[in-house]
Amino acid sequence: MKFILFLKQIKRKIKTVLFKNKSKFYSCNACGWRGNRFGSDNWHKFSKCPSCGSEVRHRLFLACLEYSKDIGIDLSLEGKRVLHFAPEIIISKILSKLTDSYKTADLLRKDCDFNLDLCDMSIMGASSFDIVIVFDVLEHVPNYKIAIKEIRRILSKFGIAILSVPQQDNLPETYEDRNIVLPKDREKAYGQWDHLRMFGDDFAKLISEEGFKVKEISYKSFNEIISLRHMLKHPIPSKNKNATNNRRLYLCMKNQMK
């Protein structure tokens, strides 16, 4: 028992030495939290905000807004008509202050402006929005290609779709097997019981085939200090084979030639 207590004391001393020069170095660009380490979840260690729960994809998006000139694309929301699917509360609070025309949508939720099926948005006219945000939804829908076509249809002439999806590490092509129907089998194959596919490194290509010019954004799109301070990548790769250790966002500009 004394030996175990001794080991715990040693571990605490090591942590103190490691982090004494990193006091409040890390910062969440979603809620403003500052500290010497991010929190953890069942998938990844030290990459979730302990205050608001923001994850890497959310902070990547907010970094895109803040440093849009550095990544070479105008993402100003001022005066833009924005539609946000499956909206995260912390992100919604920020976006609603950046534009006077911010709307939310979800298939089932009652706290959104619209109840919409991403594969059938016929109640929305063509060119209804300038920016459409869809984070981690396309892996749930029955036909993601139809959903992408619908997103493109409701975007204005120079509209932008901002997308993210789970992508298995080193998976060259998106994997989908319609014979996998049981929740336990889907969880094993795709990482979650209600996922219908696992996207691969070909995601940008799949989007471009539907009439978009695609720009991929990752932690590498920002300087090292910004990337580390806001934790724009998972610092410790998950060993789960279905984990997305390299989170990416896709800025998809409507191609006028389609």
Domains of the chain (ranges plus CATH)? 24-254 (3.40.50.150)
Q: What angle do CA 28, 33, 34 make, to 5 degrees?
A: 90
Strands 155-164 and 129-135, bridge-based pairing: parallel
pLDDT value, residue 72: 80
pLDDT value, residue 12: 52
DSSP run (H or E) holding 229: helix 224-229
Please say if the pLDDT value at position 7 is more than 90. Answer: no
Lookup: tokens for 172: 């060259």
Residue 148 Cα distances to 29, 98, 145, 191, 224, angstroms: 29, 25, 5, 22, 33
Contacts of residue 155, defined as CB under 8 A and 6 or more positions apart, other chains included, come to 127, 129, 130, 132, 161, 254
Amino acid occupying residue 240:
N
pLDDT value, residue 258: 52
pLDDT in tens, 103-161: 999 999 999 999 999 999 999 999 999 999 999 999 999 999 999 999 999 999 999 99
Q: How far apart are the first and last CA of the chain?
A: 70
Please say if the pLDDT value at position 89 is more than 50. Answer: yes
pLDDT value, residue 16: 44
Q: Are 158 and 253 in contact (CB under 8 A)?
A: yes
On the 0-12 / 13-18 / 19+ scale of CB atoms within 10 A, 53 is middle
pLDDT value, residue 109: 94
pLDDT value, residue 19: 43
Q: 137: number of CA atoms within 13 Å, CB side? A: 23
Residue 14's pLDDT band (cuts 50, 70, 90): very low
Lookup: tokens for 110: 């009652």
Residue 71's pLDDT band (cuts 50, 70, 90): confident
